[in-house]
Structure 1
Amino acid sequence: MKRVTMLAAVATAAVLALSACGGEKQSGAAAPAPSEAKSSLSSPLGDPIQLAALSRESTKKAKSSKMTMEAIAGTQKNTASGQGVYDGENSKLAMVMDSDGKKLDMLFIDNALYFKLDAEDKAELKTDKAYVKISPDGQDPLSQLLGKMMSKAVKESDPSRTLEQISKAGKITKSDQVELNGEQTNHYVIEVEAEKAIALIMGDIGIPLPAEAVNQLKAKLEGKNVKILTELWLNADQLPVQVISDQTAFVKAMGAPGDGVAKTTIKYTEWGVPVNLTVPPADQVGDMAELAKKAGGR
């Protein structure tokens, strides 16, 4: 179970980065995607609350996108690519990650996470199934540890929530208009207060922390005025095309060894393009609880 647990933890980190503190449930028929006609780029906004509201309405209309991610933590680098549907309880996410040369293929759909198993995974879990399922109501330790948190994070994965976090925990310090990948965008530089951002993240995704751990975290941050520097690029339809979050100051305040560099870059493309994700065939899916018992009995 060691390797499967490690891969699940890496996947969780990616989902949390993409979820950006959670989103809101959407209902009703799908709204039309942003107009195919080229929108004119409006002037950058100085009010983060107004910026968050406009972006939220835009992502409700577009509802889906493709994305890539690069996360750097010290000497470790993880990359991922995938596509998502941002629709509250009906959200779906498919992603392929590369962590230290190991590929991880995952799918979140119908409130459950599916890992695609390679030959090494199958040997460890003693199964010929193509997938293993982790669900919020699973009885195995891995599902109980990660299931509910990942379920909530993915269901609330609307990228516009990054801006809602900013409106509550940070301020816009600079804005300008720049070309990014051949597209004119509004570029924002935001300083997010680390203490406020952490409280929002833990509250939204429901990560329980002992009082002692919370006190230690507050003690390390107290009086340091630690900021998480975030850069956003929004297109003419107020849709994010790139988000860079630099957590270096935060991890250094936490006492991370080495150079302490920590940065996440997420790029969004093909907003509004239909995303077709389906549940794997039932006969190809192994139950995590049963496979855990089998692997533990070696």
Structure 2
Amino acid sequence: MKRVTTLATVTTAAVLALSACGGEKQSGAAAPAPSEAKSSLSSPLGDPIQLAALTRESTKKAKSSKMTMETVAGTEKSTASGQGLYDGENSKLSMVMDSEGKKLDMLFIDKALYFKLDAADKAEMKTDKAYLKISADGQDPMSQVLGKMMSKAVKESDPSRILEQVSQAGKIAKSDQVELNGEKTNHYVVEIEAEKAIALIMGDIGIPLPAETLNQLNAKLKGKNVTIPTELWLNADQLPVQVVSDQTAFVKAMGAPGDGVAKTTVKYTDWGSPVTIEAPPADQVGDLSEIMKKAGGR
């Protein structure tokens, strides 16, 4: 089924994006603002471990945000916007992705991923349901892989994770204070070692790399000192405002054709604002396992 394959590709991209920006488990149900009074901007930190710890505590207090994401890969560009509640097992996410003119509405709630279906989707999948559900406990192969991946990625989707990666796989190259969208921020330029970052991301989403694949990656990266330059802008509450990750050198080292850039920009707003994400009505939802059976798995 062509559309299901497309959904799988988009879901995998979303998982990787979340894993690149996500992190520690959290607890509690409220979503208060990080602080009642306006915080003053402190000096940038030079210790990535200390910076990661402070940002993790700030996101635990804020717990929610809105976000936009733009990914550029050569001549192709995709965008996404959404909101998230970062609360460990109870984390929720809603996102609208637009890739090559095709929009995709997706929700993650209660350990299940929901895709909104348009008329063409319904016709291909032979269903009248408005949503497709992929459960972590689904019996078909796609559900078992993607459902579990997405469940883990969203559960750990605290945006402070990027700083956890820096503390384990990179270093702060330089820092300064700049104004971004009218707000004073601490701006960090960090260098993340590609080999270490891959291992961290795959571990986050529960995908152990086969030895053969790992050897191939290591062979392509060996001796090249490939890094993933990343810029971060943090506000006075140590919360991410913008993250820009440049994967150009990495994809070239992997043998990707062409000389185009590969870059992801994520912007966060409305930290601590209330987030309402609800599952679609049960009678409007079709389960992927059942739909694939009816459609003959095509």
Which category describes the TM-score, using the shorter chain as reference length?
over 0.9
Find the counterpart in structure 2 of residue 96 from structure 1: 96
AA partner of residue 232 (structure 2): L
Residue 31 of structure 1, CA deviation: 6.2
Residue 205 of structure 1, CA deviation: 1.2
Find the counterpart in structure 1 of residue 118 from structure 2: 118
Find the counterpart in structure 2 of residue 4 from structure 1: 4
Aligned partners of 1:235 and 1:51: how far apart in 2?
12
Structure-2-length-normalised TM-score: 0.97
Aligned partners of 2:137 and 2:297: how far apart in 1?
23
Q: Is the 8 A contact 1:81 1:95 kept in 2?
A: yes
Residue 167 of structure 1, CA deviation: 0.4
1:117-141: CA deviation from partner (whole Å, max 9, x where unpaired)? 0001100111110101001111123
Find the counterpart in structure 2 of residue 261 from structure 1: 261
Are 1:285 and 2:285 counterparts? yes
Find the counterpart in structure 1 of residue 42 from structure 2: 42
Are 1:188 and 2:184 counterparts? no
1:150-189 equivalence runs, <5 A: 150-189=150-189
Aligned partners of 1:16 and 1:35: how far apart in 2?
31
Provide the secondary structure at the position in 2 that maps to 1:20. Answer: helix
Structure-1-length-normalised TM-score: 0.97
Aligned partners of 1:124 and 1:213: how far apart in 2?
34
Find the counterpart in structure 2 of residue 148 from structure 1: 148
Report runs of 4+ in structure 1 exceeding 4 Å deviation: none
Residue 203 of structure 1, CA deviation: 1.4
AA partner of residue 243 (structure 2): V
Structure 1 vs Structure 2 CA RMSD? 1.4
Instruction: Flag structure 1 segments of 5+ consecutive residues without an equivalent.
Output: none
Provide the secondary structure at the position in 2 that maps to 1:296. Answer: coil
Identity of counterpart residues, as a percentage? 86
Aligned partners of 1:243 and 1:186: how far apart in 2?
12
Residue 21 of structure 1, CA deviation: 6.4
Provide closer, same or farther for how the CA distance between residues 2 and 29 of structure 1 changes in structure 2, counting only shifts above 3 A: closer
Instruction: Flag structure 2 segments of 5+ consecutive residues without an equivalent.
Output: none
AA partner of residue 63 (structure 1): K
Provide closer, same or farther for how the CA distance between residues 198 and 261 of structure 1 changes in structure 2, counting only shifts above 3 A: same
Provide the secondary structure at the position in 1 that maps to 2:225. Answer: coil
AA partner of residue 126 (structure 2): K
Aligned partners of 1:82 and 1:69: how far apart in 2?
9
